[in-house]
Amino acid sequence: MVLSNVAIGFIGLIAFLILLFLGMPVSISMMICGVGGLYFLMREPAGAFTTLTSNVFSTLSSYTNSVAPAFILMGELASVAGLGKDLFTTIQKLSGGRRGVLASAAQIVCAIFGAVCGVTTATAGMMCRVAYPEMRRHNYRADISAGCIAAGASLATLIPPSLSLITYGIAAEASIGKLFIGGITTGILLMLCLIAVVQVWCIFDPKVAPAASEKYTFKDKMKTLLTGSLLQIIIVFALAIGGMFAGWFTPTASGAVGVVGIIIVTLISRSLTLKKLFEAVKNTLVMSGFLYIILAGASVFGTFFAYSRIPTVIGELIASMHIPNVLVVMFLTIVYLILGCFIDALPLMLLTIPVFLPIVQSCGYDIIWFGCYVVVIMGLGCITPPVGIACYVVSGMIDDISLTTVFKGSLPFVCGYVVCAFLMAFFPQVVTWLPGLLYG
């Protein structure tokens, strides 16, 4: 019996999931199933292995893909140099003395630090060192202290330079510049939703976060603003990301400019040593290698999916059923929420984009909107079990708190993500208006 291309495609997908749950690395699973599937589709081993070698080489040698290591290095330099240490104090003083202000300030700090980091784990680790002790010192309950850090850390996946948006742009062949611009408005919307969760939580349970006892004068606020790292981060962000928006250089070049900017401001402040520089480079090499091998595997697996015609068949099926676009988006949201509980964000994105992107485009949704929407939905995977990478980082960084407490504290913030996703689904202009205004 000769199997159809679609049947072979589904068999390959099932084989990939089996290998994944058996503990095989995602990239290797993708390559094995991709090459195996292409072998049966092409009916010749030479074509399958030629696709493997050409896709891996093109991924590793791509100039466009080099944007990722540059921004990763930029974030690592900011992390090891400790730019986030007094950032929390700065935002705390500028925010005033309202109840829950420290937890709300944590969301703002996560967004700002994400502007130079772009990685959830680094943001969560930094906030555990500087924000959690401060909240506990002011008698904040452990669950809200840890939960707001885990939830806010995912803002780094939206605020440029976002590694998730870069990965999506590479996979979907979308403009990284437009994705970054859409990520700014989306990130601000999500940040406001998370702050609203903090305030509502404090209203219903005032004991979780007492009102701030310290008051700061206007002079204190201005002194903190001028001497803290907030000004340094704004300068670097304006130089790297602002220059890209202005058209002075490409997204790839903006990463290099950001690295130079971080090095200059940290050398001036004497917060970067040779030892820290080597640590940042080492961490960048490890993370970049992890990302590149996943991109290579996803390229092979994506080629197999394209040959199997699964995306085309599913798209045609949905179009023939005349399902309202909103219901299609809700279905995709449920799929991402379920898969996000078991698969890490980047592999999940690379696995699903070849399948879902044609469906979304057939419904008339913008490719930039879909990228930002997917990143928001997958951000939930960072704070939900069993993967919940942000929760694992927070639990591992803080000795006196259990993983269960972190997940419990993150649960109310799921509402913030859901509200943000609904606003994006019903008002896509939240994401698309600024890229359309700047790029036409």
- The predicted pLDDT at position 397 comes to 75
Residue 298 identity = A
- The predicted pLDDT at position 195 comes to 93
- The predicted pLDDT at position 97 comes to 57
| Residue pair 345/164 in contact by the 8 Å Cβ criterion | yes
Alpha carbon distances (Å) from 248 to 244, 439, 440: 6, 14, 17
* Cβ neighbour number for residue 417 with a 10 Å cutoff: 24
The burial of 83, by beta-carbon neighbours within 10 Å (0-12 exposed, 13-18 middle, 19 or more buried), is given as buried
- The predicted pLDDT at position 186 comes to 92
- The predicted pLDDT at position 228 comes to 60
- The predicted pLDDT at position 268 comes to 79
Closest CA to 407 of 419, 420, 397, 394: 394
- The predicted pLDDT at position 3 comes to 66
- State if pTM tops 0.85: no
Q: How do residues 123-150 score in pLDDT, each as one tens digit? A: 777 777 777 887 887 788 889 989 999 8
- The predicted pLDDT at position 416 comes to 92
The burial of 67, by beta-carbon neighbours within 10 Å (0-12 exposed, 13-18 middle, 19 or more buried), is given as buried
- The predicted pLDDT at position 341 comes to 65
Domain positions in the chain are: 5-439
Closest CA to 419 of 380, 367, 382, 369: 380
Ranges of the chain with pLDDT below 50: 1
